[in-house]
């Protein structure tokens, strides 16, 4: 005669074995139906207006990877790989403006899509259906919680890095402003004074003064004038005073005009209707992004024309720089960056 304790232990083992078989069956079904389930999930994401900061191609790429990770966790019960993937995903999409509710929303939608599929498969056997959901729902909730927590943790890390970067940027810009003003006001005035003194000296010199000396003075005046112009240009590149005095759009117009003259690249500037309210740091960041983008065009693109547009968009402002020069295949570039971390 068996004791109640041993009988209960055997029942528990049978339930565990039965649960393992059931989970393998669930995983097999979800892998077999991978294509239609992913398609339905993508449709639901679009319908719910989630991940609007990402392109359809990006959404499909990440959804494919997340679906496979999700099913793998159902099979193994281990969330370590999923947690690592969630952190990696978060580091990429947070920069695109994706919010926590977007990430949690798509995971919950996937849970719902898979649950509906399981219901359709097992609804003829109500007892088995209950066992299926008793096994599936805790695992699905655990996955959703893992992804959400990982995203929030990564978001906090990104925010801290951004705040530190903003502080560094602010210090750099203040130093740029100081050097720019000193170049313009102090050094610039000294060079102009020297040039003025040479002009007066040449004008007041005796008519019979050595012609070679007069020629040399004239050459020195030209060199000083060129130095003044270059110094003013350098000061504007460091920190254009018009950015602080008049704002982003006048600063961009002034820079684009000078850039076109210097590089020989024809620049078209399009400004959208309406002005989005921007902080000084945001104006500086947009100006620096345009400046660096145009520098890259001049160095690498071999372009003859550049289009720069600045327009308000939902919850922000969009700065776009496009050129007619040579480019590169984005997929190849991304692959190189991901594998070698260079580029």
Q: What is the pLDDT of residue 307?
A: 92
pLDDT at 17 over 60: no
Same-domain pairing of 21 and 159: yes
Residue 176 inside a domain? The answer is: no
Residue 61 inside a domain? The answer is: yes
pLDDT at 123 over 60: yes
pLDDT band, residue 292 (cuts 50/70/90): confident
Residue 228 inside a domain? The answer is: no
Per-residue b/e over 247-266, b at no fewer than 16 CB within 10 Å? ebeebbbbbbeebbeebebe
> In the predicted model, what is the mean pLDDT of residues 54-58?
80
Residue 196 inside a domain? The answer is: no
The answer to whether the CB of 339 falls within 8 A of the CB of 278 is no
71-111, pLDDT tens digit by residue?
888 777 777 877 877 877 787 777 777 788 888 888 888 88
Q: What is the pLDDT of residue 42?
A: 86
12 vs 101, higher pLDDT = 101
pLDDT at 175 over 60: yes
Residue 3 inside a domain? The answer is: no
Residue 202 inside a domain? The answer is: no
Handedness of CA 295, 297, 301, 305 (dihedral sign): negative
pLDDT at 324 over 80: yes
> In the predicted model, what is the mean pLDDT of residues 199-223?
67
Same-domain pairing of 132 and 274: no
> In the predicted model, what is the mean pLDDT of residues 249-259?
87
Same-domain pairing of 161 and 33: yes
Residue 172 inside a domain? The answer is: no
Q: What is the pLDDT of residue 206?
A: 62
Same-domain pairing of 18 and 108: yes
Mean of per-residue pLDDT scores for the chain: 76
pLDDT at 10 over 60: no
Q: Per the structure, how many domains does the chain have?
A: 2
Q: What is the pLDDT of residue 308?
A: 92
pLDDT at 305 over 80: yes
Coil, strand or helix at 305: strand
Domain termination site, one of 150, 166, 182: 166
pLDDT band, residue 15 (cuts 50/70/90): very low
Residue 215 inside a domain? The answer is: no
pLDDT at 287 over 80: yes
Same-domain pairing of 159 and 249: no
Same-domain pairing of 134 and 252: no
261-284, pLDDT tens digit by residue?
888 889 999 887 556 678 877 888
Both tokens of 197, joined, read 């003194």
Same-domain pairing of 156 and 252: no
pLDDT at 333 over 50: no
Domain termination site, one of 119, 134, 166: 166
pLDDT at 44 over 70: yes
For residues 275 and 310, give the distance between their C-alpha atoms in angstroms, rounded to a whole number. 10
Same-domain pairing of 246 and 146: no
Long-range pairs for 268-272 at CB < 8 Å and ≥24 separation? Answer: 268/305, 268/306, 268/307, 268/308, 269/308, 269/309, 269/310, 270/307, 270/308, 270/309, 270/310, 270/311, 271/309, 271/310, 271/311, 272/309, 272/310, 272/311, 272/312
Same-domain pairing of 267 and 129: no
What CATH number corresponds to the domain at position 96? 1.10.490
Q: Tell me, what DSSP letter sits at residue 269? A: E
pLDDT at 318 over 80: yes
Coil, strand or helix at 275: coil
> In the predicted model, what is the mean pLDDT of residues 237-258?
80
What CATH number corresponds to the domain at position 302? 3.30.565.10
pLDDT band, residue 306 (cuts 50/70/90): very high
Q: What is the pLDDT of residue 185?
A: 66
Same-domain pairing of 144 and 289: no
For residues 202 and 212, give the distance between their C-alpha atoms in angstroms, rounded to a whole number. 12
- Tokens 């990696």 correspond to what residue? 88
For residue 41, the enclosing domain spans 12-166
Domain termination site, one of 130, 145, 166: 166
The answer to whether the CB of 63 falls within 8 A of the CB of 103 is no
């Amino acid at each position: 005669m068996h004791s109640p304790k041993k009988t209960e232990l055997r029942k528990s083992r049978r339930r565990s074995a039965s649960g393992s078989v059931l989970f393998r069956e669930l995983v097999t079904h979800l892998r077999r139906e991978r294509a239609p389930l992913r398609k339905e999930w993508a449709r639901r994401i679009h319908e719910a207006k989630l991940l609007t900061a990402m392109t359809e191609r990006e959404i499909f790429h990440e959804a494919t990877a997340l679906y496979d990770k999700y099913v793998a966790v159902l099979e193994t019960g281990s969330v370590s790989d999923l947690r690592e993937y969630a952190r990696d995903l978060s580091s990429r999409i947070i920069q695109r403006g994706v919010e926590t509710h977007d990430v949690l929303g798509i995971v919950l939608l996937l849970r719902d899509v898979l649950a509906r599929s399981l219901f359709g498969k097992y609804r003829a056997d109500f007892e088995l259906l209950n066992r299926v959901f008793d096994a599936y729902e805790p695992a699905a909730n655990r996955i959703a919680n893992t992804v959400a927590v990982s995203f929030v943790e990564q978001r906090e890390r990104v925010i801290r890095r951004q705040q530190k970067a903003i502080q560094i940027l602010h210090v750099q810009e203040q130093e740029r402003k100081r050097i720019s003003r000193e170049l313009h006001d102090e050094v610039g005035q000294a060079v102009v004074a020297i040039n003025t003194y040479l002009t007066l000296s040449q004008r007041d010199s005796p008519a019979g003064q050595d012609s070679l000396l007069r020629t040399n003075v004239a050459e020195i005046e030209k060199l000083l004038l060129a130095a003044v112009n270059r110094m003013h240009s350098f000061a504007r590149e460091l920190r254009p005073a018009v950015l602080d005095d008049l704002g982003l759009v006048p600063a961009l117009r002034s820079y684009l005009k000078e850039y076109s003259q210097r590089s020989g690249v024809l620049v078209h500037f399009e400004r959208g209707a309406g002005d989005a309210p921007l902080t000084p740091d945001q104006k500086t960041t947009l100006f620096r992004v345009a400046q660096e983008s145009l520098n890259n065009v001049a160095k690498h693109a071999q372009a003859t024309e550049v289009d720069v547009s600045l327009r308000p968009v939902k919850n922000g402002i969009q700065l776009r720089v496009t050129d007619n020069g040579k480019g590169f295949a984005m997929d190849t570039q991304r692959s190189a960056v991901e594998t070698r971390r260079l580029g």
